[in-house]
Structure 1
Amino acid sequence: MREISSDITFEVPTGQVASVRVARSTRITVRCGAVWLTRSDDTADYWLEPGHTVRLRRGERLWIGAEGGRPAWVAFASPANVREQMVDAVTRAAARFGLHAGDGWRTI
């Protein structure tokens, strides 16, 4: 299992599943290829194409696999500025109360 705590891009090989633990709030963006994504605290699975982005919460675990018989590249990036960090903090606080009001948690 890999732990994500900084910006990183890596390849998801065909026929393998990458297990990742998110050390701090970040975003995953598909750069190349198609992937499926399962989150530890979510009942939905996600199928993502290049350019799709999902916000990830600190402490959650992910399982990522490449789709379509080809490897894929995914990038993890931390919030870049104070505004994004504030939005992420407010979103995390709202999630503790069960609120997910169009904040991007499920936006693809």
Structure 2
Amino acid sequence: MREISTSVTFEIKPGETVPMRIARGTRLAVQGNAVWATRSNDIDDYWLEPGDSLKLRERERLWLSVEGEQPAYVVFTIVPRCDERAIQWFSAGIERLAQRFRAGWRTV
């Protein structure tokens, strides 16, 4: 079983079923061909067309497969946690403030 813990893209070949474990909150996007997805703790199955996406939960198990003759490409993008987003926002604000401060010193 593959574990998804970073942002990654990979190919699913026709007729192949790929089991996965999601380590962190992740968004799955589909390219190339439609993908059938079954999720743990979910009674529904998902048929995802190219361009569709699905938000996956931390510690979720997932089974993906493709039908037809063409492969599909699935893109997993890690969703930043709330604390990571807050740190990024705060860091960006500090950087903007520093740029203004440096710009003010140049005009003196």
Tell me, yes or no, whether TM beats 0.5: yes
Work out the percentage of aligned pairs sharing the same amino acid. Answer: 49
Please list every run of 5 or more consecutive structure 1 residues that lacks an aligned counterpart in the other structure: 87-108
Answer yes or no: is the 8 Å Cα contact 1:79–1:85 preserved in 2: no
Report matched runs for 1:23-62 at 5 Å.
Answer: 23-62=23-62
- Alpha-carbon distance between aligned partners in 1 of 2:20 and 2:30, rounded to the nearest angstrom: 15
Tell me how large the CA RMSD over aligned residues is: 2.1
Answer yes or no: is the 8 Å Cα contact 2:26–2:56 preserved in 1: yes
Please list every run of 5 or more consecutive structure 2 residues that lacks an aligned counterpart in the other structure: 87-108
Bigger helix fraction:
2
The aligned length equals 86
Answer yes or no: is the 8 Å Cα contact 1:35–1:48 preserved in 2: yes
Q: Which residue of 2 aligns with 1:7?
A: 7
Q: Structure 1 pair 41/71, CA: closer, same or farther in 2 (3 Å)?
A: same
Deviation string 1:80-107 (CA, Å, 9 cap, x unpaired) is: 5869968xxxxxxxxxxxxxxxxxxxxx
Q: CA deviation at 1:69?
A: 2.8
Deviation string 1:36-82 (CA, Å, 9 cap, x unpaired) is: 00001100000011110000000010000012232110000012586
Q: Structure 1 pair 13/77, CA: closer, same or farther in 2 (3 Å)?
A: same
Answer yes or no: is the 8 Å Cα contact 2:32–2:70 preserved in 1: no
What's the TM-score once normalised by structure 2's chain length? 0.72
Answer yes or no: is the 8 Å Cα contact 2:36–2:46 preserved in 1: yes
- Alpha-carbon distance between aligned partners in 2 of 1:59 and 1:85, rounded to the nearest angstrom: 20
Deviating above 6 A after TM superposition, structure 1's stretches of 4 or more consecutive aligned residues are none
- Alpha-carbon distance between aligned partners in 2 of 1:66 and 1:84, rounded to the nearest angstrom: 34
DSSP-derived class of the 1:54 partner: strand
